[in-house]
Each structure stands twice: as structure tokens, then as C-alpha cells.
A and B are shown apart, each in its own frame.
Chain A
């Protein structure tokens, strides 16, 4: 079996306005691989939501996108504060984002729900004061 293709990005926690660079790059790379546009759309939206979360809540982090034969795996890892109550955070409309983020159109409490909506599996590993790692998969078959 050929080695899986990996794209790695460092997400800059300081620069909110440039958030989305990693997801946009992933979208371009996946398009070059000739994947179906609906798959690309799901991967890039899920990743963008995660990227925005890392910028808002965790001062940045690392994003890895791995193209397997049967799925695309997205791993988002940060060293932020962790998620206190995951089931609450998964509820549509629940948000702890500050007001300045809301004025930009984010903080609607739809980030994690959208990540789940657009992926076939999603796992959240989080520890308060240590960080959060989210692993998502979008099936190709």
C-alpha cells in the first residue's frame, strides 16, 4: 500500500483575520488530487471550523490532514484551556466566544456541531489546562 499523503499546518493563534489559510490550502491540495467537490467541501468546512476554534480559544495549534485510501483524516491539536463540558459545547447555539469574535460573524455556537455534521466520525480528546485534540474522518467510499 502506498504511503498516505500528509499535509501539515501550524495555525497562528495571533492572527484572527488570516484564519482559514490552512483550510484554503487543503482545499486546493485536495482539488489537485481530483477528489469529488462535495468531499472537498466537507473536509474544508470541518477544518475551517476547527481552525477558527483554535484561534479563538487556544492561541493556535497544529493541523494535519492525512489522505488515506478510504478516508481523509483531519487531526487538530492545541495546547489551549481544554473544553470543560464537551456535551454542552456540542450543542448548537452554545458558545463561549468573546464579543469581538461575534462581531466578525463567529461565535454562533455552530463550530463543533458543523464539524460533526460534515464528517463521518469525530473524536474529541480534551483535558483542562492541557489542550484538545480533535480527530475527524471523512470517508471516501
Chain B
């Protein structure tokens, strides 16, 4: 599935500069080095962290998108940064677990 399909499933897009990016799997984590060490290219990354290092990690680890759980939002300047760095960021009121379950259904 593509990142651009997510808004149709209850996600709110905060930055969607690359909607055609495909999602091949999911990684969940808030410790950035764990994410860089374990997430695979084209994974959707579910986190509750929302500082600008998250945008850098998503870019360097080549995640297809950042999915902010628990209704976490991104400050205006980071939305701008995400668009600049071509990083898709979406948010959901759901928990990390609920997002993972939803994506598991959508990806299968």
C-alpha cells in the first residue's frame, strides 16, 4: 500500500510530500538508535516522539513515513522541515498497538 492511502483510513496527514511511497512493513519505537538499527527501508515508523531528530532519523533510515500515535502533533516548523526533507508524517488518535493492528490488516 502507499502512504497516500492512509488518510482514507483515519490518519491525519501533517506532511505528505511523497504520497506514492510504498509501505513494506512496520517498526515501532521511540529510542532513535533502536529505530536506526532495526527499522527496515520502506517501513512505516510508529512513534510518539516529535522532535526534529525524528525527521532526520526517518530520512536517514529511509522510512516510508512517520506515524505519530496517541494524537501527537508536529509543531509548525517541523512540518515545514518534514516537507523540505521529503518525509511523510501522519498522526492518529490511536495507540501504537492499535495503529500496528490496523496496518497489519491493510498490508496483508
Chain A positions within 8 Å of B, measured between CB atoms, are: 17, 19-20, 23-24, 27, 37-38, 41, 44-45, 48-49, 104-106, 108-111, 113-114, 117
B41 touches A38 (CB 8 A): yes
5 contacts between A and B (CB under 8 A): A48-B60, A49-B36, A108-B32, A110-B36, A110-B37
Interface string of B69-98 (1 = CB under 8 A from A): 000000000000000010000000000000
Interface size on B, residues (CB 8 A): 20
B33 touches A111 (CB 8 A): yes
CB within 8 Å for A24 and B52 given contacts A45-B36, A48-B36, A105-B30: no
> Which of chain B's residues have a CB closer than 8 A to the CB of A20?
53, 56, 60
Q: Is the interface of A mostly helix, strand, loop or mixed?
A: helix
Chain B positions within 8 Å of A, measured between CB atoms, are: 30-34, 36-37, 41, 49, 51-54, 56-57, 59-62, 85
Extra contacts, 16 of them, besides A20-B60, A24-B59 (Cβ < 8 A), are: A19-B56, A23-B60, A37-B41, A38-B41, A41-B62, A48-B57, A48-B60, A105-B32, A105-B53, A106-B33, A108-B32, A109-B33, A110-B37, A111-B33, A114-B36, A117-B37
A104 touches B51 (CB 8 A): yes
> Which of chain B's residues have a CB closer than 8 A to the CB of A109?
33
> Which of chain B's residues have a CB closer than 8 A to the CB of A110?
31, 33-34, 36-37
Minimum C-beta distance from B28 to chain A (A): 13
A45 touches B61 (CB 8 A): yes
| Bound Cα distance A38, B60 (Å) | 11
> Which of chain B's residues have a CB closer than 8 A to the CB of A111?
33
B60 touches A106 (CB 8 A): no
Minimum C-beta distance from B49 to chain A (A): 5
Minimum C-beta distance from A16 to chain B (A): 8
| Bound Cα distance A49, B34 (Å) | 11
| Bound Cα distance A24, B84 (Å) | 12
